[in-house]
Each structure stands twice: as C-alpha cells, then as structure tokens.
Amino acid sequence: MVATHPSPGAGTECGLNSPDDCGVPRDTTLELRFDRYLLPVTAVRQSITVYSGNEELSLFAQPEYDLVERVLVFKLPTLEPGARYTVELLVPKTEVDLGFRAFDQAPLEEADIPLSFDFRTQKLEPPPPDPNAPPPYIPPYNTTCKLLDALYYGDDPKKYAGCATVGCHSGTTARMGLRFDTATGLVQTALGRVAHQTESGAKTGVPLEHPPRLGVNMPIIDRGRPENSYLMYKLLRNPRNFSGEPGVGCTTIHKVPLPAGVCPEPSAAESARLHDYFVRGLPMPYNESSADLRGIQAWIRDTTIAAECATE
C-alpha cells in the first residue's frame, strides 16, 4: 500500500478546544492505493476493520475496486463528530485467513504506510449533497454504440483503439473468435465467454467466478466486474493505454493522492508478473493506438447499459 485517504493521523492533533472544522469530514470515504493489483476476492469489507473505541463495533464499509488505478474505495456511513477512528488492514497468515493479497496470492506487506492507523473527524455536521456538483469522473460510453465506436477502426489513433480493424477482432475471421465490430458480436463472443488464453480449468468454455487461482477460465468481459474481465488485464499491460491519448497519464479520479513520482501505470515488474501468472500473449491493442481504460472499465461495471446498438 502506497497511500491512504484519510492519511494516517489526519485530524489527531485536534482537541476539545480546536475549531469545529478541525479534522476529517464526517462524510469521508476511505480510500486505499496499492502498488500491486489485488486478488479480487480479497478486495472486500472483510479485509478491513474501521471502528471508534470498540473493535467489535466495526463500521459497515462498502467496497468498490478501481482496477485501473489499483485503488479500493470504501463508502462509510456518516461518522460521529469529533471521534477518533482506527483503520486496520488485515494481513492473511494462512491460506484461509481473511486479508489483502495481490493477484498472485502474495499477502499484503507493510511499507511506508502503516497497516493500522487513526484519524479524527470534524465536529461539523456534513453539508447536504449538492445535486449540481460534477462527479469526479463522467464515463464517456453511456451506450454500447459509443463503446464499439471507440474500439472500432478509425484514422485517428487518439480516438480509436483499432481493436476491430480488418484481420483483428471483426468479421467471421476474427482472431480468437472475438468480435468488437457489432453489439451482437460483442454479446456472442465476449460477454461471459471464457478467454481462450485462460482455459486451464477442468471444463472448457465454463467461466469460473471464484477460481482457486485467478485467471483460470476467466471471462473476456464479466459485466459488473471489471476486475474479473480478461479484457481489462490485456489492456493494462499496454503502456500506451496509460501514456497515449486517451490515456490515464499521471492523473487520478480519487481523493487518495498519487505519491510523488508515482503514476497509475503498473511497474514493469508488475506487468511481467501479470504475464507470467495468467495474462498471455501480447498487450492490447496491438497497434499504435491506445484504449480508454477508465471508460471501458466504467462500461463493464455499469450493468444498466444495455449491450445493444440500434445502428447495426
């Protein structure tokens, strides 16, 4: 872990006579930034405790894992005013223990950021939500048509990923049988379909939601679960998807900061570990274009977007 929000010790300098706005806002989220990709089944509320005073009264923390930035966001209930809270990240000691692990089963290790820390909240009542406040990120693909357009071929590599160029993922001769040229092709060849490069389970063609090893019979796209979608991991291994246009760059959509000199792009060592563990073949897209990682992740996560396109 390389950063947290709130930061360790935030607001703990506040005392009885401190201003009411001293400390962490009571409507804060808890955000954890990692330098490694998490094993998805450990990116859950059972891997963390958040409490004030009594450890047995841990708060309910609802997680959402941003695979692109390796950030785990926990939504918390409104916190008590002027209270000191403790955050504890669990580290598994045995194979069956709860706690955070990297995708290759490596347990979480303490580094510069402590795995147990405190923060204190403000005394102020949190303001009501502002319905006019812009969200930190607006997904660009609110229809499947827009997603396919971005994945399809075009002359501008800054706009198109080129996944469906001739000879790649289009038509009846699409590579690996995977089609990104139409919504029908997307549904029939990608959604809930096992990626050929991951078929190492007992049954071929049967996706596993919780395999004994990450990457066994993994779906190409698992709607609602980008962290269990092989397409995402293929894209994550391409540096152009971070440095190109559109690209993630050294930006973040979260409150937890990027440490100095650190960007969301995985290290060369982490990318190599993904390849050695389960992400076979070449990084995608295999051309000079780049894909919008955040936009694709958002489309996969949002199951309310119908997987259809009226323009076919």
Q: Are residues 206 and 77 in the same domain?
A: no
Q: Are residues 145 and 268 in the same domain?
A: yes
What global pTM score does this model have? 0.93
Of the residues 126, 150, 183, which one is the last residue of a structural domain? 126
Q: Helical H runs in 54-178?
A: 144-151
Q: 190: domain range?
A: 138-312
**Beta bridge pairs of residue 74:** 30, 63
Distance CA 282, CA 19 (A): 56
Q: Are residues 143 and 247 in the same domain?
A: yes
Looking at residue 143, its pLDDT comes to 93
Of the residues 97, 126, 155, which one is the last residue of a structural domain? 126
Instruction: Print pLDDT tens along the chain (312 aa).
Output: 999 999 999 999 999 999 999 999 999 999 999 999 999 999 999 999 999 998 888 999 999 999 999 999 999 999 999 999 999 999 999 989 999 999 999 999 999 999 999 999 999 999 998 888 888 899 999 999 999 888 875 555 555 566 766 568 877 777 888 888 889 999 999 999 999 999 886 677 778 777 889 999 999 999 999 999 999 999 999 999 998 777 799 999 999 999 998 899 999 999 999 999 999 998 998 777 888 999 999 999 999 999 998 766
Looking at residue 167, its pLDDT comes to 62
Query: Around Cβ 181, how many Cβ atoms within 10 Å?
Result: 21
Distance CA 4, CA 111 (A): 13
| Number of independent structural domains in the chain | 2
Name 155's Cβ contacts closer than 8 Å, sequence gap at least 6: none
Looking at residue 159, its pLDDT comes to 53
Domain membership flag for residue 73 = yes
CB 220 within 8 A of CB 279: no
The first and second tokens of residue 291, run together, are: 């894909």
Domain membership flag for residue 133 = no
Q: Are residues 144 and 291 in the same domain?
A: yes
Tell me the Ramachandran region of residue 93: left when phi exceeds 0, alpha when psi lies from -120 to 50, beta otherwise: alpha
Domain membership flag for residue 108 = yes
Q: Are residues 65 and 149 in the same domain?
A: no
Q: Are residues 45 and 167 in the same domain?
A: no
Distance CA 307, CA 299 (A): 10
